[in-house]
Structure 1
Amino acid sequence: MVLPGVYAPQEDTELLAGALSDEPLPPGAAVLDVGTGTGALALEAARRGGRVTAVDVSWRAVCAARLNATRAGLPLRVRRGNLFDPVRGESFDLILTNPPYVPAPDGTRPRGPARSWDAGHDGRLVLDRICREGPELLRPGGVLLVVQSALSDPDRTLGLLRTAGLKAAVIRRRRIDFGPVLRGREHWLRHRGLLSATDDKEELVVVRAELPV
């Protein structure tokens, strides 16, 4: 169920779900889904026996995730808050996140549904926080999986996570057609050099980062 104003699962959700399916997830593993939206990824982890906490800054997303968990008959702890704020002091075996990552001409903080995709002038308004704060919540051997656009500098994500002491690599890639948001700012992205004159697709990547034991 997708409530009005809540980010609907799309190609990035599917790509991250594929990476999740490759992760060994022991029964009872502590899982955190940050920016859960409808709860699609959180519920997939719950189906595999994880003890899952889902967080979103949007009350509508929180309601959608709770409704979908009830409909699926799966246990899901859902909290409203800004990124990791609701789970400070806790630790997790796996952190999943599909954050806002699209560069925006207006670098101010977005409002309304745009909070699901707009992420500042360089697309890293949320990604940089995830790279700084996420490693602190991982247990030894824990894994962070994050999906983002190639437009928002995956190399910076890798560098920040490695600086934090994690082993990080891009494990999945997919090229997709431009959606409505990118089509609406295609000229601006080309002007900035984020898209070449011949680019007609967007590349999505999944970064996997593991905290050594």
Structure 2
Amino acid sequence: MNLNLTDVTLGAPMALAHLNASTAPRAFAFRVLAALVLAALCAFALSSCGHEPEIATPPVDYGQEQQNNTEKNTGAQDNADDATAADDEASEQDDTSAEHDASDGAAAQATHEGPFVVRILNAGGADGLAGAAQETLTGAGIAGDNYQISTDSYLAAVLPSTIVYVTGEGDDAAAVRAEADKVAAALGGEVRTFNAAEVAEGTTMDGLDILVLVGANAI
């Protein structure tokens, strides 16, 4: 096959022109598509930048509900305060009543009907100690219609110190003990609750309020 150089030379530009003619519509379409995509992206970016965050709108009765809750809480606190004040007042009344009851009880215990019956026994090993003890009590104001005092000898071993016995029983025990303290202070003795094992056989406190055993310290 014979190929003419002139044909080749003339055919190349024609082929290139044909190729350019066939690819031109595709390139144009691609450019248009790219432009549309770019425009869409720009529009989305602008829309995102200008968008304000959505603000939740409270319901219409939100303020009233808050006010009602506040009033309920305030009312509950007021009720609690009133209950606490009532409890405190009741506690104070109970304490006052208890103090009054205690005072009334002490007054009842301090009541003694009739004269105090006192017996003085000489247990000091010397004559006349019981009579001397009675005179000492008279000098201390322990005498008169409020007292019924008798003296005698104690037929047992000599006691080193004076002992003043009380039974520690009865509704008037507090009053008797208070009087026994006065007797012991005047005679220089000590007050004890009567115990039959501490005294001579046959020594009792029957019919007595106070029993005094004058010891050797009175000599």
Q: Which TM-score bucket, shorter chain as reference? A: under 0.3
Q: Could you say which structure has the larger radius of gyration?
A: 2
Q: Give the number of the structure whose residues are more often strand, by fraction.
A: 1
When normalised by structure 1's length, the TM-score is 0.24
Q: Give the number of the structure whose residues are more often helix, by fraction.
A: 2
